[in-house]
Amino acid sequence: MKKQPITKLVALALALTMLPATALAVAADTNAAQGDSVNNAYYTNDPDTDPDPDPVPPIVDDDPIVDDVPADTTPSTPAKPVEPDAVVVETIDNVKTETNENGQTVVTATIQVEDSTAPVAVSEAAVEALVGQAKEGDVVAIVAETTGAVSAPAAQLAKLIETTGNPVSLGNSVAAVAVNATLAELAGGAEVKVEPVKNEDGTISVPVTAGGKVIAPEDVPGGIDVEVPVQYTAGEVGGVNAVKADSTEVELTWSITLGKLQVNLTVTGSIKVVLN
């Protein structure tokens, strides 16, 4: 075999070593000349490198919901039912006078309202008008045809009590409470409010407030007298009890006259009528 000179072998080795770098440089120049659109893998639409960049479309959010805002997981508090404003009664047009079984003149002022569940507030002027009509020995009853609360100013009720010498009956279509001088005094010049309610079990609760304070029968000497319209006679009744909060019962004094049950409530509890 013929040996090559050392100088020729060294020159050949150097030429082979430089070949890849030269080929890459040529390839890069070729891509630049043809434009980036030839090689999509390197297409950037950069105005600094692309002589004719395509317009960039605006970013449109097809989903109007802001996903980055966390949902409010706080449990909502149920709204409390709002009690309607009381119907203020300035004048009482329906006033009836009759004589009861005891020979007393009974002056009954009946208040009619459109909403049969609305609370009723009898004004000072309305009670003052009754003071002008009442006489000594009369019995005055103020009854609103509603199942809501009924209130009247204590000062004017006290005048009626002083004029007639008898308690004033104040109530709704469920029951009425005999407001005596003690109850009027406990109101401290504010109002006396009664809210008789017929419960689901058939008993009747008779909440009484005077001057914004709940008055228990134990707070009134002799208890609180309650009158309830009924459809039965005295012979059909076996007894009337007060059902206390602990479900124990206390027997009450009662009577029925002309379709009305009179009960003397001496303890805190609902009134229960036991039929024969």
Q: What is the DSSP string of 125-181?
A: HHHHHHHHH--TT-EEEEEESSSS-EEEEHHHHHHHHHHHSSPEEEE-SS-EEEE-H
Of the candidates 170, 147, 188, which has an alpha carbon nearest to the alpha carbon of residue 226?
170
**pLDDT tens digits, residue range 199-252?**
999 999 999 999 999 999 999 999 999 999 999 999 999 999 999 999 999 999
111 lies in some domain = yes
| Structure-block tokens of residue 50 | 């692309």
The fraction of the chain above a pLDDT of 90, given in percent, is 66
Domain assignment of residue 244, yes or no: no
Nearest Cα residue to 273 out of 234, 238, 221: 238
Q: Which domain holds residue 179?
A: 87-220
In a domain, 119, yes or no: yes
Q: CA torsion sign, 200 to 201 to 202 to 208?
A: negative
Q: Is residue 31 part of a domain?
A: no
| pLDDT tens-digit map of 38-91 | 444 434 455 555 556 566 566 655 555 555 555 555 555 555 556 678 999 999
Residue 144 lies in a domain: yes
| Residue among 156, 232, 165 at smallest CA distance from 187 | 156
Instruction: Please list, residue by residue across 115-150, b when 16 or more beta carbons sit within 10 angstroms of its beta carbon and e when fewer do.
Output: eeebbbbbbeebbebbbeebeeebbbbbbbebbbbb
Residue 30 lies in a domain: no
Predicted model pTM = 0.70
What's residue 49's pLDDT? 54
Tens-digit pLDDT profile for residues 127-136: 999 999 999 9
Domain assignment present for residue 125? The answer is: yes
123 domain-assigned: yes
Domain count, the chain: 1
Contacts of 11 (CB under 8 A, 6+ apart): none
87-89 and 120-122 as β-strands: parallel, antiparallel, unpaired? parallel
Q: Which residues contact 228 (CB under 8 A, 6 or more apart)?
A: 174, 175, 196, 204, 260, 261, 263, 271
